[in-house]
Amino acid sequence: MSAPVLDLALRAKFFGATRVLGALRLSIGKGEIVALTGASGIGKTTLLRILAGLDTEFDGTLRRPERTAMVFQEPTLLPWRDARANIRLTTGASADAADRLLAEVGLEGREEALPLQLSLGQRRRLAFARALAAAPELLLMDEPFVSLDPARVEEMLTLTARLLAARDTATVFVTHSRAEADRLASRVVTLAGTPAVIVADMTT
């Protein structure tokens, strides 16, 4: 078996004196799509931030690829730059590559639109395109479909499934929806307890 793309051996994560995450082990291989589930406030986003390298104050070891991209709950776009520039400035992608990705996510013809000229669903598509432009070995997504109406969620699920199927990126996404997890993931990892640990790791 080839080495995992991501390997976390966590002993503990504290916020002050409170231990929010307990001992857990998470390894993810090339092309795997893992849904991270659990009750609200259990520590899913905290764990995702550890995996992203954004939170380094934990007890344990993490091995992750340098080429890691993250899609946040709210699209973190540059409001004064158009869609094409939002991709190019942060990833170094060529104009042609940026335009191809915009077309892939359904934003063809909106290359010069500013983020505030796009709907929330379109901004989420742009944030997704920007993440893919980095050609990441590891893609992390924190509730990527939150605040969208059911029709837009269905569109984003279909789009995400299609784009990830065309790549061999290891992916972890946080969701409260079991339907989203079953639709996209090859594995569903569930956090529970105080401190939170992995209580289930199931192949879908």
Q: Name which of 77, 189, 71 is nearest 141 in CA terms.
A: 71
The model's pLDDT over 120-134, given as tens digits with 9 standing for 90+, comes to 999 999 999 999 998
Buried b (16+ CB within 10 A) or exposed e, 61-84: ebebeeebbbbbeebebeeeebbb
Which token pair is 95?
A: 């104009």
Mean pLDDT, the chain, integer: 94
Average pLDDT over residues 168-194: 93
Q: CB under 8 Å to 168, separation ≥6 — which residues? A: 30, 31
Query: What pLDDT, on the 0 to 100 scale, is given for residue 147?
Result: 82
Mean pLDDT throughout 11-22?
96
Tens-place pLDDT, residues 132-156: 998 999 999 999 888 888 888 889 9
pLDDT top residue among 73 and 52: 52
Q: What does the buried/exposed string (b/e) look like for 96-110 if buried means 16 or more CB atoms within 10 Å of the residue's CB?
A: eebbebbebbebeeb
For 39, other C-beta atoms within 10 Å of its C-beta total 12
**Total residue count of the chain as it appears in this document:** 204
Q: What does the pLDDT read at residue 136?
A: 95
pLDDT digits (tens, 9 = 90+) for 37-46: 999 999 999 9
